[in-house]
Amino acid sequence: MLKIYADENMPYVQQFFAGFGQVQLVDGRNLTPAQVADADVLLVRSVTKVNAELLSQNNRLKFVGTATIGVDHIDKTYLQNRGVTFTSAPGCNAQSVVEYVLSSLFLLSEQQQKPLQQWTIGVVGVGQIGARLVKALQALQVKVLQCDPLRKAKEPDFPHVPFADLMQQVDGLSFHVPLVKTGEHPTFQLLNSNNLSELPPDVAIINASRGEVTCNQALLLEAQGRAQSSETAGTQRPLVLDVWDNEPSVLKALVPYCRIATAHIAGHSIEGKARGTEMLYQALCQLLKIQPQHQLYDFCPKPVMEMLQISANFRLSDVQSLCRMLYDVRRDDALFRYHLNGNGFDWLRKHYPPRREFSSLRLTAPKGAIPEYLTQLGFSSQ
């Protein structure tokens, strides 16, 4: 029987992994070497740094899994040198993050009284999440420019627009890159005090990737400068921040300048979080050469809304209302502002209220004619 240590915020981990042995839930952010000294399996999220220090007292570890897309918190070289199998969960919460960005864009569009179809969105980082966002925006007939030098290097036909050029051509920037501090294309402070001054003042910034990608101090200084200037007072750059420098120690002075501020929950739909657990379960089954016995929908609760009939009068302009039935980002913004100073950042993440993805709602129509753009957004149909 294996000894399995898992982040307490990983959904359905007991149900998926109990068959392998004893599952012990732990506080991932404050995990110590002594706690995992006898671990055979370690299951974490992005708040746990898995490295030589954490595993200094362990000599029996076989498997490490992170239920996240990003892996900057994992010392993969160290694990490889120790012969420890490692897996992540690429794409597990991609749809959830896309729905967060769409909800944010719907809100900004409404505030500016400018239909989203008149926007040009720059997607920075076109991997698992970025590519899905591009597809969703194009389904909504939104013009999209893509920035991903790594994909351009591998795919000559990829329509890459360099970041400096992209900044001058868009109404909004949405970041979906991993945190990379070295190499030819670092993303650490990709948006900083130098190039932020080159970004037109009305261009919206959405960051649902890693906090250090957009320098929070630079954003704050710009916002404060605009507020103090007689020429720009009352006109703030639209900011949507789900991720922050130095989490969980949020730069609180920046929060009042954000249109949307949330606690790193863009990917926290029920499906998004649980899909990561399922992917780690499948990887451990493969390592142990065991046939999987469980799947995600064995454990997901019944959705509050299972089916909705739309009429032949449904139009692209109605998508916003449909999406908001399932998720309205303003809920999470309100929770963040209310609880940040009291209960705090990690409490918000741990007590995040249930949220279902578009796929949980099955759409029907009198003659079965569901618009293709709805299925491209992720809604289920008959």
Please tell me which residue in 45, 237, 259, 264 is annotated as part of the active site.
264
SS3 128: helix
| Residue after which a domain boundary falls, among 88, 122, 139 | 88
Instruction: Clarify whether residues 107 and 170 are in a common domain.
Output: yes
- So what's the pLDDT on residue 210? 94
Label residue 365 exposed, middle or buried (CB < 10 Å: 0-12, 13-18, 19+): middle
Does residue 21 fall inside a structural domain? yes
Instruction: Clarify whether residues 61 and 104 are in a common domain.
Output: no
SS3 154: helix
Sign of CA dihedral 212, 350, 123, 199: negative
Q: Which residues of 13-34 are buried (b: 16+ CB within 10 A; e: fewer)?
A: beebbeebeebeebebbebeee
User: 204 and 175 in contact (C-beta within 8 Å)?
Assistant: no
Does residue 292 fall inside a structural domain? no
- So what's the pLDDT on residue 215? 97
User: 258 and 241 in contact (C-beta within 8 Å)?
Assistant: yes
Q: What is the pLDDT of residues 161-202, one digit of tens each?
A: 999 999 999 999 999 999 999 999 999 999 999 999 999 999
Does residue 59 fall inside a structural domain? yes
Q: What is the pLDDT of residues 108-138, one digit of tens each?
A: 999 999 999 999 999 999 999 999 999 999 9
Instruction: Clarify whether residues 114 and 175 are in a common domain.
Output: yes
Instruction: Clarify whether residues 233 and 151 are in a common domain.
Output: yes
Q: In what order do the strands lie in the sheet with 362-364?
A: 307-309, 362-364, 380-381
Does residue 200 fall inside a structural domain? yes
Instruction: Clarify whether residues 71 and 148 are in a common domain.
Output: no
The residue with greater pLDDT, 366 or 327, is: 327
- So what's the pLDDT on residue 115? 95
Instruction: Clarify whether residues 121 and 227 are in a common domain.
Output: yes
- So what's the pLDDT on residue 50? 98
Does residue 64 fall inside a structural domain? yes
Q: Is residue 76 predicted with pLDDT exceeding 90? A: yes
Instruction: Clarify whether residues 98 and 50 are in a common domain.
Output: no
- Match 């249930």 to its residue by tokens: 354
Instruction: Clarify whether residues 138 and 75 are in a common domain.
Output: no
- So what's the pLDDT on residue 278? 96
247 is an active site residue = yes
Q: Is residue 148 predicted with pLDDT exceeding 90? A: yes
Please tell me which residue in 132, 160, 176, 210 is annotated as part of the active site.
210
Instruction: Clarify whether residues 145 and 38 are in a common domain.
Output: no
The residue with greater pLDDT, 205 or 71, is: 205
* pLDDT band, residue 283 (cuts 50/70/90): very high
151 is an active site residue = no
Instruction: Clarify whether residues 157 and 239 are in a common domain.
Output: yes
Q: What is the pLDDT of residues 193-240, one digit of tens each?
A: 999 999 999 999 999 999 999 999 999 999 999 888 766 666 799 999
176 is an active site residue = no
Does residue 361 fall inside a structural domain? yes
The residue with greater pLDDT, 232 or 358, is: 358
E strand or H helix that includes residue 99: helix 94-112
CATH code of the domain containing 56: 3.40.50.720
Q: What is the pLDDT of residues 48-67, one digit of tens each?
A: 999 999 999 999 999 999 99
Of the listed ranges 34-38, 76-80, 302-306, the one predicted with least confidence = 302-306
In single-letter form, the type of residue at position 102 comes to L
CATH code of the domain containing 363: 3.30.1370.170
| Residue after which a domain boundary falls, among 23, 54, 88 | 88
| Residue after which a domain boundary falls, among 20, 54, 88 | 88
Work out how many domains the chain is built from and give that number: 3
The boundaries of the domain holding residue 189 are: 94-261
Does residue 74 fall inside a structural domain? yes
- So what's the pLDDT on residue 361? 95
Average pLDDT over residues 349-370: 91
Please state whether beta strands 85-87 and 120-124 pair in parallel, antiparallel, or not at all (unpaired).
Answer: unpaired
Among the listed residues 86, 53, 52, the one whose alpha carbon sits nearest the alpha carbon of residue 71: 86
Average pLDDT over residues 41-45: 97
Label residue 324 exposed, middle or buried (CB < 10 Å: 0-12, 13-18, 19+): middle
Q: What percent of the chain shows pLDDT beyond 70? A: 98
User: 98 and 132 in contact (C-beta within 8 Å)?
Assistant: yes
Please tell me which residue in 99, 212, 222, 247 is annotated as part of the active site.
247
Among the listed residues 236, 182, 187, 185, the one whose alpha carbon sits nearest the alpha carbon of residue 211: 187
Does residue 295 fall inside a structural domain? no
Radius of gyration over every alpha carbon of the chain, rounded to an integer in angstroms: 21
Instruction: Clarify whether residues 193 and 239 are in a common domain.
Output: yes
- So what's the pLDDT on residue 231? 67
* Mean pLDDT over the full length of the chain: 95
Instruction: Clarify whether residues 146 and 230 are in a common domain.
Output: yes
